[in-house]
Chain A
Amino acid sequence: MDVSGGAAVERAEDRLRERLERFIARQSGASAAVTGYVRLPGGTLRDAWGIDARINAGPFAGSHRLVYLQDRGGGPVESRLRREDEFRVLAVVHAAGVRAPRPYWHVPRDDLEGLGPGLILERVEGEAVGRRILEDRAFEAVRPRVLEQMGEELARIHAVPCDAVTGLPAPPSGKGAPEAGLDEVERTLREGEEPHPALELALRWLRPRMPAPRPPVVSHGDYRLGNVVVHPSDGLRAVLDWELVHLGDPGEDLGWACIRFWQGVDQPGRRGLGPRQHFLDGYASVAGWRLAPEMVVYWEVFANVRWAVITLRQARRHLTGRERSLELASIGRRCAEVEWELLRLIRAA
């Protein structure tokens, strides 16, 4: 039985391959051939294709392992960068020595070749699926080191000068990042019509504990297991998914990486890559400072609330018909897991 509609899929893939060849040829100014082509697991917002390309002359002459991230449509999502801005961010952080995929080209919305809008980046060898990094034997040896590397790399991202990329989303003037962050999650929560008492309780817990604003840093915005490429022998090879970059408090990324949902750090009753201390130590070793323990808890609670309201917003994108998707619909039902974790955290604090 063939339920994928084999012939139709092949024709569509041939078309995509031809369009890619024409696009790459035009961008590189030389003839190009796509020699390999494979669909990769994408996210909820875009499809991913692994592409091997050979460029026959010019500055790009040679073989390239690329990934084409193609927007799935459904319109821009609040607080996400436009693709061209994400491309600029990648260019800056890559040039600054951060382990990020080398950006090749931005495919505009009105591309002549008819490719869907998106990005073409270097394809970094390794594994990004969190479950495999956690479970496959191949990563056993490198696992204890990955958290530390994640901490170190985050500190390098936070060291990128804020003015190196212009036009990044930033807290409104007169407001610190912690307050702006809380206001935003609260607003997103209120956009939905369903009541969520556990999230309200967590917001009440956060407000009086809000830290004083500190100088903003370039915050990745989705820094976690699942957005890093890990190689079986070298460990961390690249940080992915730069569409939520903004100017914010360093604690946002530190807390986000630690939440239970991503399974990056060990949790009561559940193993991750290792103890969170490894991550925090890695960060401190490069940054030269560390977050006070009570502030780690604050940002962990904040990150959970933020993730909870994002799950609700994702489900709304499906429910309002803006983007019908099974994946988005099912994410709405994962909010309960985050609420459970929030109740545990604020009881323990």
Chain B
Amino acid sequence: MQDRPTVVELIEAVRDFLAGEVVPALADRGLRYRMRIALHVLGIVAREVPDEETRLRAEREALLNLLDLPRPAPPCDPRSLRAWVLEANRALCERIRDGGADAGPWRERVLAHLQQVVEEKLRGSNPDFN
């Protein structure tokens, strides 16, 4: 286990430094604009680093249900978990392309699932979105 500051605490220290000391010293409008983007991106990182694995496991669970897949032992390392979710999303895309979600109750389930996934993505990338 690493010493404090944690990864998130370090990112926040960098953000505070950039926002508090660098931004006011930037004379160039274009640089200020890109610095705002950089700060926003660091915000994404700070929000998404914690609990990434928990979120991937939740999406995996939802996809297992939606695609009615057999339940193998869950991947234990984050990398293969990520690969599994990616593959399952490809399978979901294929079923949508084949017309599986054009109508009926499964369409409703797909819509509800995607709504959840999109909202989860937004909590990381843009929590102020409305």
Q: Tell me the smallest distance from the CB of B116 to a CB of chain A, in Å.
A: 10
- Is A330 a contact of B25 with CB atoms below 8 Å? no
Docked complex Cα distance between A177 and B81 (Å): 42
Do the beta carbons of B121 and A336 come within 8 Å of each other? yes
| B10 in contact (CB, < 8 A) | no
Is the beta-carbon distance between B93 and A336 smaller than 8 angstroms? no
The answer for the CA separation of A9 and B28 in the assembled complex, in Å, is 10
Give the residues in chain A near B130, CB-CB below 8 Å: 269-270
Across the interface, A334 reaches (CB within 8 A) one of B26, B111, B119, B125, namely B125
CB of B86 within 8 A of chain A?
yes
Give 1 or 0 for each of A191-216: 1 = CB within 8 Å of chain B CB: 00011111011001000000000000
Q: A330-B37, A336-B121 are in contact. Are A1 and B129 (CB under 8 A)?
A: no
Inter-chain contact B99/A204, CB cutoff 8 Å: yes
- Quick check: A198 and B118 within 8 Å, CB to CB? yes
Of the stretches A132-140, A142-150, A339-347, the one at the interface is A339-347
Please provide the chain B residues from 12 to 64 with a CB less than 8 Å away from any CB of chain A in the complex: 21-22, 25-31, 33-34, 37-38, 40-41, 44
Cross-chain contact B114 with A42 (CB below 8 angstroms): no
A217 to B121, CA, bound (A): 38
C-alpha spacing A348/B21, complex, angstroms: 47
Is residue B97 contacting chain A, with contact meaning CB distance below 8 A? yes
Given A334-B126, A347-B111, A195 and B89 touching (CB < 8 A)? yes
> Which one of B28, B89, B102, B111 contacts A39 once the chains associate, using CB atoms below 8 Å?
B28
Residues of B near A270 (CB, < 8 A) are: 130
Contact A337 B37 (CB under 8 A): no
| B114 in complex: contacting residue of A201, A269, A337, CB < 8 Å | A201
Q: Which residue from B40, B89, B90, B129 sits with its C-beta under 8 Å from A330?
A: B40
Give the residues in chain A near B119, CB-CB below 8 Å: 340
B8 at the interface (CB under 8 A from A): no
Known: A197-B96, A336-B121. A39 touches B22 (CB 8 A): no
The residues in A between 139 and 197 inclusive whose CB is less than 8 angstroms from any CB of B are: 194-197
* Main DSSP-derived SS at the B contact region: helix
Does B11 have its Cβ within 8 Å of any Cβ on chain A?
A: no
Complex CA–CA separation, A194 to B93 (angstroms): 10
Asked whether any CB of chain B lies closer than 8 Å to the CB of A41, the reply is yes
A326 within 8 A of B: yes
Query: Cα distance A3–B22 when bound, in Å?
Result: 7
Min Cβ gap A16→B in Å is: 14
Residues of B within 8 A of A329 (CB): 41
With A343-B115, A347-B111 in contact, is A195–B90 under 8 Å at CB?
Answer: yes
A336 to B102 Cα, complex, angstroms: 22
Evaluate contact between A201 and B101: CB separation under 8 angstroms: yes
Q: Give every chain A residue within 8 A of B96 (Cβ-Cβ).
A: 197, 200-201, 204
| A-contact bits for B91-105, CB 8 A (1 contact / 0 none) | 011001101011000
When the two chains form the complex, which single residue of B41, B110, B114 contacts A339, counting CB atoms closer than 8 Å?
B114
Q: Is the CB of B110 within 8 A of A327?
A: no
Q: Is the CB of B30 within 8 A of A42?
A: yes
> Cα distance A200–B98 when bound, in Å?
10
Query: Is B83 among interface residues, defined by CB-CB distance under 8 A?
Result: no
Task: Please encode chain A, from 282 to 321, with 1 for each CB lying within 8 Å of some chain B CB and 0 for all others.
Answer: 0000000000000000000000000000000000000000
Q: Closest CB-CB distance, B100 to chain A, in whole Å?
A: 9
In contact, A197 and B92 (Cβ under 8 angstroms): yes
Contacts of A340 in B (CB 8 A): 118-119, 122, 129
Chain B residues with CB under 8 Å of A78's CB are: none
Complex alpha-carbon distance, A207 and B30, angstroms: 41
Contacts of B28 on A, CB cut-off 8 Å?
Answer: 4, 9, 39
Which A residues between 35 and 60 are near B, CB-CB below 8 angstroms? 39-42, 47
- Between A and B, 5 residue pairs with Cβ closer than 8 Å are A39-B30, A195-B93, A201-B111, A336-B121, A343-B111
Can you add 12 more A-B contacts, CB < 8 Å, to A195-B90, A197-B89, A334-B125?
Answer: A1-B25, A3-B22, A4-B27, A4-B28, A198-B114, A201-B101, A326-B38, A327-B37, A329-B41, A330-B37, A337-B122, A343-B115
- Which A residues contact B (CB, under 8 angstroms)? 1-4, 9, 39-42, 47, 194-198, 200-201, 204, 269-270, 326-327, 329-330, 333-334, 336-337, 339-340, 343, 347
